[in-house]
Amino acid sequence: MTERTLVLVKPDGVSRGLVGEVITRLERKGLRLVAAELRTLDRETAETHYAEHRERPFFADLVEFITGGPLMALVVEGPRAIEAFRALAGATDPVKAGPGTIRGDFALEVQNNIVHGSDSPESAEREVTLFFPNLA
């Protein structure tokens, strides 16, 4: 069944010139771009996006990081797109992410891990609507 997921190339990925690399990898996998926008998040949107982590010790740093420069927001579609993109991204901690994954190939630090991908159908719906309210 076709589903949609929200992918972010985080500010570290944008500043390192990895937008094209991420898009190439997801397109090569067979996923399809539905929407794309380069934007800098305001604090409120960032805190809403990462609301599940509000009580975590890294939350303030995470919000600083994700609002610290432009990010590339993408809506991506395909069969099991949520799981498919999370597999392309690799583990949250880039040192544990396998070689061949985006995080495994391009990152070393847990916060600066290049990409975000929605983690469930419920998160995907919430996040796609947050970033692209006009998307049907």
What are the catalytic residues?
A: 116
Cα distance between residue 22 and residue 14, in whole Å? 10
Residue of the chain from 24, 27, 58, 98 that contacts ligand RTP (CB under 6 A): 58
For residue 120, give both structure tokens: 């469930």
4 carries a ligand binding annotation: no
Amino acid found at 100? G
Q: Which strands sit side by side in the sheet containing 115-117, from one edge to the other?
A: 32-39, 71-79, 2-9, 115-117
Q: Does 87 contact ligand RTP by CB under 6 A?
A: no
Q: Does 5 contact ligand RTP by CB under 6 A?
A: no
65 carries a ligand binding annotation: no
Exposure string of 83-120, with b = 16+ CB inside 10 Å and e = fewer, is: ebbbebbbeeebeebeeebbbbbbbeeeebbbbbbbee
Q: Does 119 contact ligand RTP by CB under 6 A?
A: yes
Q: Does 92 contact ligand RTP by CB under 6 A?
A: yes
Residue 48 touches which member of Mg ion, ligand RTP, none, C-beta under 5-8 Å by kind: none
16 carries a ligand binding annotation: no
Distance of CA 63 to the CA centre of its chain: 14
Q: Report the binding-site residues for ATP.
A: 10, 58, 86, 92, 103, 113
Q: Give binding residues as ranges.
A: 10, 58, 86, 92, 103, 113
Binding region for Mg ion (CB under 5 A): 119
